[in-house]
């Protein structure tokens, strides 16, 4: 999108405004449905908060494993694990698309935004030739740097419309979660080991993740300051030219 085209900019702002509204409505309805289900059927759904928090920290594979071990049925795992990442994308999408430069200056959020953008930039060439289908595959494959949120940014970078991007990442995530659930027999031992240590693992992973992101941000800021100081020293070292009389 050209910065000098106010029409395109206005259209993007309207689209992002619709995404914000959809995010608020969807997340509110989703959380309410989780709370109602946990109240009506505390066994097994009273522990669903662990799955939600675990997915935020460790990803959909962790959440699917924990959900299987807790006895959640196939449709519920699809509903929770597949849609949760999409709702996170809806919440972050306006920040990642329109406000990422401002967000990168934030102490905690900045490193996360920068990392997601870097991954998306790195993968867009792989996805571009295949369009929406390539985006579905990108989200589906459990490789480093893939997933719903990076997939949403890749969709924007390769020029897909917002509805197409959201539909593609939702389809890819549904297929990924379904594949993990169908591989239950292979994952049974893994899910049992994960579930035993779930609360502590979630806490440790969250603290460690925040610490690493903050260190990355401080390292980036230190490099920038060092470059500024180096440029200042080089400027002072240059001989002063005498002005002609």
Task: Return the structure tokens found at 37.
Answer: 């289900």
Q: Give the per-residue pLDDT at 215.
A: 81
| Full DSSP string of 47-92 | THHHHHHHHHHH-HHHHHHHHHHTT--HHHHIIIIIHHHHHHHHHH
41-71 pLDDT, tens per residue?
888 888 888 888 888 887 787 888 888 888 8
Q: Give the per-residue pLDDT at 20.
A: 86
Task: Return the structure tokens found at 212.
Answer: 């690493």
Q: Give the per-residue pLDDT at 2.
A: 46
Q: Give the per-residue pLDDT at 189.
A: 57
Q: Give the per-residue pLDDT at 1.
A: 47
Q: Give the per-residue pLDDT at 190.
A: 55
Residues 62 and 194 sit within 8 Å (Cβ to Cβ): yes
Residue-range domain boundaries for the chain: 6-235
Q: Give the per-residue pLDDT at 93.
A: 81
pTM, full prediction: 0.61
Residues 146 and 138 sit within 8 Å (Cβ to Cβ): yes
Q: Give the per-residue pLDDT at 66.
A: 84
Q: Establish how many alpha carbons lie within 13 A of residue 136's alpha carbon, considering only the half-sphere containing its beta carbon.
A: 11
What does pLDDT average to in each consecutive run of 10 residues of the chain (245 residues)? 63 82 89 89 86 83 82 86 86 73 56 64 75 86 73 83 89 86 64 57 69 78 80 71 53
Q: Give the per-residue pLDDT at 202.
A: 60
């Amino acid at each position: 999108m050209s910065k000098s085209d106010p029409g395109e900019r206005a259209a993007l702002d309207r689209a992002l405004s619709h995404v914000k509204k959809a995010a608020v409505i969807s997340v509110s309805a989703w959380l309410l449905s989780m709370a109602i289900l946990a109240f009506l059927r505390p066994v097994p759904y009273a522990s669903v908060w662990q799955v939600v928090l675990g997915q935020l920290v460790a990803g959909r594979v962790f959440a699917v494993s924990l959900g299987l071990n807790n006895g959640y049925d196939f449709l519920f795992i699809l509903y929770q694990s597949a849609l949760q990442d999409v709702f996170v994308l809806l919440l972050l999408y306006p920040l990642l698309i329109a406000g990422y430069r401002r967000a990168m200056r934030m102490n905690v959020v900045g490193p996360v935004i920068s990392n997601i953008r870097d991954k998306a930039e790195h993968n867009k060439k792989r996805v571009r030739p295949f369009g929406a289908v390539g985006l579905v595959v990108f989200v589906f494959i459990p490789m480093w740097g893939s997933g719903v949120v990076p997939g949403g940014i890749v969709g924007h970078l390769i020029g897909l419309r917002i509805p197409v991007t959201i539909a593609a990442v939702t389809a890819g995530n549904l297929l990924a979660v379904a594949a993990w659930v169908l591989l239950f027999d292979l994952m049974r031992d893994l899910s049992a080991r994960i579930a035993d240590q779930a609360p502590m693992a979630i806490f440790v992973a969250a603290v460690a993740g925040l610490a690493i992101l903050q260190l990355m941000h401080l390292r980036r800021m230190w490099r920038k300051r060092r470059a500024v100081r180096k440029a200042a020293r080089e400027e002072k070292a240059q001989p002063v030219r005498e002005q002609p009389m």
